[in-house]
Amino acid sequence: MRIGWNLGNSLDAPESETAWGNPPVTPELLQTVAGAGFSLVRIPVTWSLHTGPGPEFTIEPAWLARVAEVVDYARNAGLYAIINVHHDGADGFANSNGRPVEWLTLNDPSGAISDANNAAVRARFEAVWRQIAAKFASYGEELLFESMNEIHDGYGKPDPKYFGIINALNQDFVDVVRASAGNNSQRHLVVPGYNTNIDHTLAGFELPKDPTPGRLILSVHYYDPYLFALQGQKNTWGKASPGNDGWGQEDFVVGQFDKLKAKYIDQGVPLIIGEYGACYQQGFDDYRRYYMEYVTKAAVDRGIVPIYWDNGAEGSGGEKFGLFSRSTYAPLHPKLLEAMQRAAKGSYALSEVALPKP
């Protein structure tokens, strides 16, 4: 695997696959992704509104079957696939009717860290993963499981206790999957640190104990600087760009990825960037191309597999990450795709990434 793509805002939409405006996923979409040079698709899945009451937390058979159908689309297209537990852990998230989506929470309803809340969360977490593992037990190494997404309590400095909670959940995930049947004893498993944040991961992540050696992969996310990459409030990026953030530039990218390489990859722990990207801003295409080519190249050169966040959103502005039309499958930004694939598979140096043309 060199570079991957996220099927965002589809199976992770809590109410239904089409609730956030994307059409149903088709085999043609995944074939297009594979044809564009991607080798891996991350399929975020939100289970919350599709599970029954405890203690069984039974997943709706139709929902589980649809997830399997989309995984099969990926397999038939020749793609590796990752499925996870996604917005079940979104901080304070509720659906349009006010029904809580988040249950994979670090705090009880009063906002406190408590043993009772941790036990309740772990019981549901284990029940959900037990069912997922059973459903996909016969699938081979083309399918990976990811324990959870961006679990956090706000974006400020985290309570160090949160690190321990995440580490314990990752260990539960490994234990449940390994205790299940079929190929799950050998399946590659993806685990994140707190909020998939690089600095918090470096500070508090502990690799779970796994009876199967060499099958754990660490995941982080990367949207820095977020005013440019995520929110579209800054139009330019990089050393040749006037008016940039002043942080999160080329030296920051290299520094962050070097730290990850030294602590994890050089010690035998594979690593992916489970989400990264830069939103489309009309008239600033080449700054986006430069950012994506630079970040992709910096990651791949260090043995990190980057997975682009595509939420299907077209147009210009914050969170407009669409690379392919979800209805026609046409590439929305062909030059950007070319740059990303060039960075993932080319043999040139990072210093040779062409600066943006204003």
Give the pLDDT score at 1: 87
Give the pLDDT score at 309: 98
Give the pLDDT score at 192: 98
State yes or no: cis peptide before 225, omega within 30 of 0. Answer: yes
Q: How many C-beta atoms surround the C-beta of residue 94 within 10 A?
A: 12
Give the pLDDT score at 244: 80
Q: What does the block give as tokens for 290?
A: 């430069």
Architecture of domain 4-352 in CATH? Alpha-Beta Barrel (3.20)
Give the pLDDT score at 93: 81
Q: How many C-beta atoms surround the C-beta of residue 206 within 10 A?
A: 14
Q: Quickly list DSSP for 177-224.
A: HHHSSGGGGT--EEEE-GGG-HHHHHHH--PPP-SSTT-EEEEEEE--
Q: Tell me which residues are annotated as active site.
A: 150, 275
Give the pLDDT score at 240: 87
State yes or no: cis peptide before 55, omega within 30 of 0. Answer: yes
Question: Beta strand 40-43 with 4-6: parallel, antiparallel or unpaired?
Answer: parallel
Mean pLDDT by runs of 10 across the 358 residues of the chain is 96 97 98 98 98 97 98 98 97 79 95 97 98 98 98 94 98 98 98 98 98 98 97 94 87 98 98 98 97 98 98 98 98 98 97 93
Domain boundaries, the chain: 4-352
